[in-house]
Amino acid sequence: MLHGHAVRFHRAGSGPLVLLLHGIASTADTWAPVAPALAERHAVLAPDLLGHGASAKPRGDYSLGAFASGVRDLVAALGHDRATVVGHSLGGGIAMQFAYQYPERVERLVLISSGGLGREVHALLRAATLPGSELALAVLGAGWLRSAGGAVASALGRVGLRAGEDLAGVAAGIASLGDAGARTAFVHTARAAIDAGGQRVSATDRLYLAAELPTLVVWGDRDPIIPVEHGRAAHEAMPGSRLEVFAGAGHFPHREDPARFVALLERFIASTEPAAVREARWRELLRTTR
């Protein structure tokens, strides 16, 4: 329990903490292909964010800032001070917000197919923010449609999602919306970051602050949800960052090639010193004219 709300999380391993943050309508289970290998050398923590999975779905604030605060409290409650923070999609936006709000708690930043780095996003997510979307999601998440896997796959294929992890991930997200609480949390989360025109929350004006953090950007070059160009532009804007593009991969590169992802993350951690951002340095950066 955290602030009176149930929070489900996976926890394994020991050593420096690697914090894994999933995307919208996903759960901690998205990390199942990589978490056991990471836990051989690190403490690994992967929560179901509030409003997702088996965690509570309270009526409340589903902004990036609120998610970042909740993650900070969970990490502290479990006895950790700092972490290498890894975020996928929405989780990437939360990871950047976490680093912005609590830089002293972040050793490294890893962004996978991250939100918050550009305007473009798939039409499915834009549609979820429209008036009446709750009713449409109730139909999509209904049991009779969830049982018709072929129909779901066909419909998603028509909007550009390939068979494999992209289609499976989005179909699982739709299936999770059969519960009214999950639908409400999903819509509130989507509307906090997206509107009909695309992503409306952006970290691009603050990426220069990442010069203080070892940062790795990972993307699939065939991502249909958030274009890889966002990752390339973010890499250019973040001094000293590293960019790794998985050829042929979509929105879930950590699941499409988990062995490559684990090896990449392990090398990144081993080859970088954990950041130690001090308040005076943060003030200096914020006063810099950009």
Catalytic-labelled residue, pool 26, 55, 89, 114: 89
Across 174-256, the runs of DSSP E, i.e. the strands, are 194-195, 198-199, 215-220, 242-246
221 given a catalytic annotation: no
Q: How many CA atoms lie within 13 A of 28 on its CB side?
A: 19
The strand pair at 43-47 and 106-112 is best described as unpaired
Catalytic-labelled residue, pool 55, 114, 133, 223: 223
223 given a catalytic annotation: yes
CA distance 189 to 53: 14
Name the CA dihedral angle for 31, 32, 38, 43, rounded to a multiple of 10 degrees.
80
55 given a catalytic annotation: no
125 by DSSP, 3-state: which?
helix
**Residue whose tokens read 């409290």:** 73
Amino acid, res. 11: R
Catalytic-labelled residue, pool 42, 122, 230, 251: 251
Q: Which residues are catalytic?
A: 89, 223, 251
